[in-house]
């Protein structure tokens, strides 16, 4: 096993799962990838044939990335309190629009 994928919605339960996954990553010498799928933006018709997004799609993506970066920083901080001789996994993040 080289990577552990953790799906997150930034809830308290997800944070607990992330911390548990970090423990597994250390034990099995695997890297950790946090992933968030943010909701698709609904389209609102402006006129007969023109469709315009309801909100700025980048705002949902920006929020997702911002939350992911915060969680990655928190997990890396957890690693800093550990023994320097133990395996330190690479913790990264990714996100996409979707359900």
Structural domain tally of the chain?
1
pLDDT, position 33: 98
What is the pTM for the complete model shown?
A: 0.78
Sort 8 into a burial class: Cβ within 10 Å, 0-12 / 13-18 / 19+. buried
Q: Could you count the other beta carbons within 10 Å of the beta carbon of residue 75?
A: 21
Q: What CATH number corresponds to the domain at position 33?
A: 3.40.50.620
Domain of residue 43: give its range: 3-97
**Tens digit of each residue's pLDDT, the chain (99 residues):** 699 999 999 999 999 999 999 999 999 999 999 999 998 776 655 555 655 555 555 688 999 999 999 999 999 999 998 888 889 999 999 999 887
């Amino acid at each position: 096993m080289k990577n552990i994928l953790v799906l997150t919605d930034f809830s308290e339960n997800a944070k607990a799962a992330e911390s548990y996954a970090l423990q597994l990553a250390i034990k099995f010498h695997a890297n950790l990838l946090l992933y968030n799928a943010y909701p698709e933006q609904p389209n609102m018709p402006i006129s007969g044939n023109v469709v315009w997004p309801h909100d700025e799609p980048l705002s949902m993506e920006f929020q997702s990335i911002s939350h992911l970066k915060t969680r990655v920083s928190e997990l890396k901080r957890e690693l800093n309190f550990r023994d320097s001789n133990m395996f330190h996994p690479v913790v990264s993040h990714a996100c996409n629009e979707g359900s």
